[in-house]
A and B are shown apart, each in its own frame.
Chain A
Amino acid sequence: DSGVTQTPKHLITATGQRVTLRCSPRSGDLSVYWYQQSLDQGLQFLIQYYNGEERAKGNILERFSAQQFPDLHSELNLSSLELGDSALYFCASSVSGRMDEQFFGPGTRLTVL
């Protein structure tokens, strides 16, 4: 158990819908990362937050957005969902976001029908 929690574990929805994935980092970690793992694209970095502020951005679609709240939990919002958005979404956290180990959560499996 990494100490990073993600909810829900599974999510099944329809095209065009909007979903929110939630991540709670390990106690004491200030930085949160979101990754997408799909058969087509592999593991891809989406976005990083540090203490509420966006720090780095990767291959995140405009239909996707994220934020980190004052209690340091983070949410990833996916809207106008398409079939190709079906994937495993991982959240990771680290203490500072620089030169330190990222601890991964168990992931949220999103299925878009």
Chain B
Amino acid sequence: AQSVTQLDSQVPVFEEAPVELRCNYSSSVSVYLFWYVQYPNQGLQLLLKYLSGSTLVESINGFEAEFNKSQTSFHLRKPSVHISDTAEYFCAVSESGTASKLTFGTGTRLQVTL
């Protein structure tokens, strides 16, 4: 079984500042890793994913995450946030080879202010 820990329930940050949302996972097998974003009153949208290959993955809107196998982490970073990045961010893991059910973390609320 897998589990995901997102240590920070809320992260307040000023616009144009850098941000890091932390995600650690636990699994006895190889995993795929995902970051999803949930804007208010909406469903989840995939932000980025790691399946294999390069450990650094990027999204189209400036976010990036690095898979660190030794530290079992998949932290999400953005060098300069915008007000529109305010949302709930969920880290998720699935067993590699199947990628069916996702196990989610508890989410991190990113609040960007001026």
Query: Which residues of A are interface residues toward B (Cβ below 8 A)?
Result: 2, 4, 31, 33, 35, 42-45, 48, 55-56, 58, 90, 92, 97-107
Q: Please, which residue of chain B has its CB at the minimum distance from the CB of A43?
A: B104
Given A4-B43, A43-B90, A90-B43, decide whether A101 and B49 contact each other with a Cβ distance below 8 A.
yes
Structural contact, A107 and B49, CB atoms closer than 8 A: no
Q: Which residue of A lies closest to B41 (CB)?
A: A106
Contact B104 A106 (CB under 8 A): no
30 contacts between A and B (CB under 8 A): A2-B43, A2-B45, A31-B100, A33-B100, A33-B101, A35-B102, A42-B106, A43-B90, A43-B107, A45-B101, A45-B102, A45-B103, A48-B100, A48-B101, A55-B100, A56-B100, A56-B101, A90-B43, A90-B44, A92-B44, A98-B99, A98-B100, A99-B32, A101-B49, A102-B46, A102-B102, A103-B46, A104-B45, A106-B41, A106-B43
CB distance from A58 to the nearest CB of B (A): 6
Interface residues on B, range: 20 to 34
- In the complex, whether B51 has a CB less than 8 A from a CB of chain A is yes
- Chain B interface mostly helix, strand, loop or mixed? loop
Residues of A within 8 A of B70 (CB): none
10 interchain residue pairs of minimum CB distance: A104-B43, A43-B104, A45-B101, A104-B44, A99-B99, A56-B100, A42-B106, A106-B43, A56-B101, A101-B46
Cα A56 to Cα B36 with chains together (Å): 21
> Please, how many angstroms separate the alpha-carbon atoms of A35 and B43 in the complex?
11
Report A-chain residues with C-beta under 8 Å of the C-beta of B36: 104
- Nearest CB in chain A to that of B49: its residue: A101
Q: Are B101 and A99 in contact (CB under 8 A)?
A: no
Chain B residues positioned under 8 Å from A45 (CB to CB): 101-103
* Bound Cα distance from A66 to B41, whole angstroms: 24
Residue of A nearest to B103 (CB): A45
Interface string of B27-64 (1 = CB under 8 A from A): 00000100010000111111001010000000000000
**Considering the chains assembled together, what is the distance between the CA atoms of A101 and B49 in angstroms?**
9
| Docked CA distance A106–B40 (Å) | 11
Note all chain A residues with C-beta closer than 8 A to B84. Answer: none
